[in-house]
Chain A
Amino acid sequence: MSAPATRAKRAAYQAALLLLVPAFIILLGVFVIPMLYIFLMSFQDAKEQFTFDNYILFVKDPYYIGILWRTVKVSLLTVLCCLLLGYPVALFLSKASGKMRGFVTFLIISPHLISVVIRNFGWVVILGDKGWINTILMNLGLIEKPLRLLYNELGVVIGLTDAFIVYMVLSISTSLYAVDSSLFKAAGILGASKWTMFRTITLPLSLPGILAGTTLVFSLSMSAFVTPALMGGTSVKVLPVITYEKIMATLNWPLGAALAFLLLASTVVLVTVFSKLVETKRYKEVFAS
């Protein structure tokens, strides 16, 4: 290569680096360094001495284990609801015409761009003791006292399902759009029933989408703060809510920082274990036959 060409290339390269500088300043100063800073802080006690106490407390104190279990439980239930309700929607989308598909996708995505606080308020109006559902059921004489639909785990799961189902639907539908329709034709010629086609073609080929949607909804639910705070009230305290209280109310920042990392770590570990389990199972399925 001639010298001028190399020089021009280097100039372009330098220009590129220059364009990246602002983004990296923000990334470093507002994200990477602060994350490192709170990671170090999570190993400090009140006198800024090195300690593992903040993490040991979490393992030893049944209170925190209980909180973690509740957070995982609520997240798993949310995943289940999103999967059960989201899969049929994704299937519907994959079979729908272009116009219908666009319309339904728009309906499902657009609420996602409006603040979750507002959506939660709507749910409080619907689910509260004097809310729409309870008033209707009581006026119909079906129940005598209001059903408890809010400020418990059920309320949080409803709120989170509403907030995150979009991710499940889009993950699964993306994998369904990619299914080659000639597979169904072939199966039909061979006399397969609708159910057999679903079981042997649609479901296995949508597994990557299910896996993606499941991990995404699970991670989002684990770290959700606003919905548990507004729809769980004081009775459903999940890990993010406790972390918030440690930081903003008790002002125990080292413990709060440790809780933040425990939240992150437990999510990553659970998601990894889950993905590994699914992969091993599929591996066995493929090689057993």
Chain B
Amino acid sequence: MIAIIDYGAGNIFSVKNALDFLGVESVLTKDKCEIEAADAVILPGVGAFPWAMGELNKSGLVATVKHEAERKPFLGICLGMQLIFEKGYEFSECEGLGLIPGYVDKIDSPDLIIPHMGWNRLEVNNKDCPLLDGLTGEDYVYFVHSYKAFTDNKYIASYVEYGSEVPALVHDGKFVYGAQFHPEKSGKIGLKILQNFANL
């Protein structure tokens, strides 16, 4: 059973739809006990960093999320991936979950169209990341974001080129994973990545 944390952010039904399609059991929840009882946790999210951290704080889930991420597979998606880091600078400086060292700031280049929206090709940085199992080498996934993660190269399992290298999939080497793209909206490749996560 995968707990998809429902803290009012974005289109969480698509994550559930994708897991249903794969035949993976999941539940949308903000209940602490359900999150603790689950085999794995997904933190989805669309919106702004400070707003999302505020909602997580209001739900009283920050401590639970931090604790569970140390003992079972944890996947942050899009904004959920950004929240994994220590700090965000969207509008104002804001404390993140601090599961992986690093911070989140604007994709800053005057020549680029922002948001980075559409399909971009994954470049593998760490082929041992289990979420990349069985991919084809021509793996396009769907992005929509205006901020990106800044973190040590050792946490970056895969990146895409957009003006500079943009971390696409991060992994702490243990239980914590983060996808800047939307695997639930990335066709076959995205479903394969979600299946890999469910198989952990």
* Same complex: no
Interfacial residues, chain B to chain A (CB-CB below 8 A): none
Chain A residues proximal to chain B, CB less than 8 Å? none
